[in-house]
Amino acid sequence: MYKGWQCIYFSNLLHKIEIVRSVLMDHEIKSVVVDKRDSNYIMVGDIEVYVPNEEAILAKIIIDQIDL
């Protein structure tokens, strides 16, 4: 991905990704979503959430607390 960014969460379910992104936004943590699903078979592959390296630990703690 981008240099200086770290994947903190992945899923093949879009609604879980949107929840993670919303929670991170509520905590003022920048995030980028990268959809790596196959365009023909959307259940093949994952959607990943990336945050800047300096915010990765805090973001992981926050995500663990929402228990997805």
- Please write the tens of the pLDDT for every residue from 41-64: 767 789 999 999 999 999 999 999
Mean pLDDT of all residues in the chain?
90
Q: Which residues contact 41 (CB under 8 A, 6 or more apart)?
A: none
Please check the confidence at residue 5 and state whether its pLDDT lies above 90: yes
* pLDDT of amino acid 24: 97
CATH architecture group of domain 5-66: 2-Layer Sandwich (3.30)
Q: Residue ranges per domain, the chain?
A: 5-66
The helix or strand, by DSSP H or E, that contains position 61, with its residue range, turns out to be helix 56-66
- Torsion sign (Cα): 58, 62, 63, 65: positive
Number of Cβ within 10 Å of residue 59's Cβ equals 23
Q: At 3, give phi and psi (nearest 5°).
A: -70, 130
